[in-house]
Amino acid sequence: MAAIPVIRHCNEVKSDLTILMTTTTVSAFEVIKNQLPVGVLHQFAPLDTPLAIDRFLGHWKPNAIIIMENELWPNLIMAASGLLIPLGLLNARMSTKSFKRWSSPLLLPLVSLLLSKFSLIAPLSTLQGIRFQLLHAPPFVINYSGDLKYVVNKFHVSSGTSESIRDLKVELAEMKVWIASSLHRGEEEVILGVHNMLLESHPDSVVIIVPRHPHHGQQIAHKLRKDGQSVALRSQNEKLTPRKTNIYVVDTLGELRELYSVAPIAVIGGSFIPGLTGHNLSEAAAAGCAVITGCHVGHFSHMVKAMQQANPLSVTQVSTKLELKEAVDLLLSNPEILETHQRASKDVYESLSSCIITNIWKLLNLHIFRGKSRNHIECK
């Protein structure tokens, strides 16, 4: 999804581009298939073997290859370099675990060689830029432009609010609602524990649980029902019953942006269990939610830091279940405080998302396109 804003902008300002986007999974294709502009091609990426890569590049003959985030496929990079195809790495990131692995004496020569083949590396944060330099990426190709995840929402194509979301808003109109999104296995126990505590002071509250994977949602609903609790499951179009059903489980894909418009408070998962690395906060901020996250934010620590530096009220970070309960309780109990947090997250999002695409486009023009009149580009 972070590639979509770049693709759409390229399409708008450089109409002679032919863009091929590749994904490695069917689920990724399902998420982006309705977001691609007319004329953009899609194909599943080849296996990173010499034969498959040679056939792929021989067929498409790209003039440039843009890789997203951390897809450092050795055969693709070396083959493209051998054919003098410019390589760019956008939203470049390297997790702490990957950085330690690549820094080992055995792998450092390989990653150093791979990174030397890039004409542009645009890290998503200063820390990430330092990591790439420590892995011997040429300093002159490293250029910071901002995190593309901030602008996904600005370029998201929507057919409008779906009828089912409008119906859900009506059902929740008289209730106090909060959403817990992108939950990993085990995090639902934290959220449900907090929800049970909140029901004592807010019996009219409802939590919307959105697991990372739909089948996990079905498992959560099954377990809750087995324990005698009333749950509404989204895939079955089940309705919320006032004073009876206070848990709504989402077991569908591709609806999170719309669901954020239903709840004024968003708790972002992937952050409440050690070993997890967080998820994108900007989608909830763009929707005007008061944003709460746990302390295990890993890949998104730069986003939390940037938002809090811009306005401490834009993101609330908690370390324990009790702290999470107190944070949600405060917002549910005080409409003025809730509104202040919502406005802070929205304003910070608008500020941080401005100019990123313009910066990326300037870098691509300077380092990758180099004034070519006709380009065929793969965005991987």
Residue 379 contacts by C-beta under 8 Å, 6 or more apart in sequence? 3, 6, 7, 19, 20, 21, 22, 66, 68
What is the end-to-end Cα distance of the chain in Å, rounded? 11
Residues 280, 266, 197, 234, CA torsion sign: negative
Q: Hey, do 2-152+355-368 and 159-353 end up sharing a CATH topology, with the first three levels equal?
A: yes
> What residue ranges do the domains of the chain occupy?
2-152+355-368, 159-353
pLDDT in tens, the chain (380 residues): 889 999 999 888 888 889 999 999 888 888 888 888 888 999 999 999 999 999 999 999 999 999 999 889 999 999 999 999 999 999 999 988 899 999 999 999 999 999 999 999 999 888 899 999 999 999 999 999 889 989 887 766 555 568 889 999 999 988 999 999 999 999 999 999 999 999 999 999 999 999 999 999 999 999 999 999 999 999 999 988 877 899 999 999 888 989 999 999 999 999 999 999 999 999 999 999 999 999 999 889 989 999 999 999 999 999 999 999 999 999 999 999 999 999 999 999 999 998 899 999 999 999 998 755 444 666 66
Q: Which amino acid is at 336?
A: E
Own/partner contacts of 241-244, CB < 8 Å, gap of 24 or more, are 242/174, 242/175, 243/203, 243/204
Q: What is the CATH number of domain 2-152+355-368?
A: 3.40.50.11720
Residue 140 contacts by C-beta under 8 Å, 6 or more apart in sequence? none
Q: CA-CA distances (angstroms) from residue 14 to 40, 291, 345, 369, 375? A: 13, 37, 33, 11, 10
CA distance 85 to 71: 17
Q: Which CATH architecture has domain 159-353?
A: 3-Layer(aba) Sandwich (3.40)
Q: Give the position of tokens 């906060």.
A: 281
CA distance 66 to 17: 13
| Token output for 231 | 């749950």
Closest CA to 117 of 72, 174, 180: 72
Q: CA-CA distances (angstroms) from residue 193 to 66, 96, 210, 352? A: 44, 31, 16, 34
